[in-house]
Amino acid sequence: MKQCFTTQEVAVSANVSTTSVPLVLTAKGREVLQARLDGARRRLERIEDELRNERDESLIAEQRQLRQQIDELGPVLRDAVSPGEVIDDPTIVELGDEVEVEFPDGGRETFLVVHPLEAGIDEQRTSAEAPVANAVLGHREGDRVTVTSPAGVYHCTIVRRSRSG
């Protein structure tokens, strides 16, 4: 049975990772994070084999880091939902949406708003915690939003939003 979540529940999970509401991951994001988890598990096995033979402080540090990565990624992948599983308001920007914004100088930018863990996968994905993505979340096409970034405050207008798979 497909489990669905309201946009309000998903918005909360995007900003507060300690809630019981699953977060949203795109199919590609899930695939990349699963590969990262599998790689971390394989490397951890090799390190633990090496540590049986000799005590190496750098390996112990890497072991600790890999365990932390596994502990973080495992629950994320287990609990995450796809954008299609969200009962959404098709008029507002949410995690998993592709958004096009226009700046006052007429320049445009298109990006996919994603959970921070999947932000570095490619050039199009922008973390929901990034200033411009955070500013558009919960807004509608045509809305002018204020972006507060380290470089200063600026405005942009949401031109388009579409649901990603």
Return per-residue pLDDT of the chain as tens, 165 residues: 334 444 444 443 444 333 344 488 888 999 999 999 999 999 999 999 999 988 889 999 999 999 999 999 999 999 888 877 766 677 899 888 999 999 999 999 999 999 898 888 888 899 999 999 999 999 999 999 999 999 899 999 999 998 865
Count of beta carbons in the 10 Å neighbourhood of residue 12 = 15
Angstrom distance (rounded) from CA 67 to CA 72: 9
The set of residues, in sequence order, having a beta carbon less than 8 Å from that of 147 and lying 6+ positions away, is 131, 132, 135, 153, 154, 155, 156
Q: Where are the beta strands (DSSP E) in 11-107?
A: 86-87, 97-102
Q: Which class does domain 89-163 fall in?
A: alpha beta
CATH classification for the domain delimited by 5-84, as one of 3.40.50.300, 1.10.287.180, 3.90.1150.10, 3.40.50.150: 1.10.287.180
Give the residue carrying structure tokens 């207008």: 157
> How much is the pLDDT for 133?
95
SS3 at position 63: helix
List every span in the chain annotated with CATH 1.10.287.180: 5-84
> How much is the pLDDT for 135?
96
| HSE of 28, CA atoms in CB hemisphere, 13 A | 12
> How much is the pLDDT for 96?
87
Count of beta carbons in the 10 Å neighbourhood of residue 29 = 26
List every span in the chain annotated with CATH 3.10.50.30: 89-163
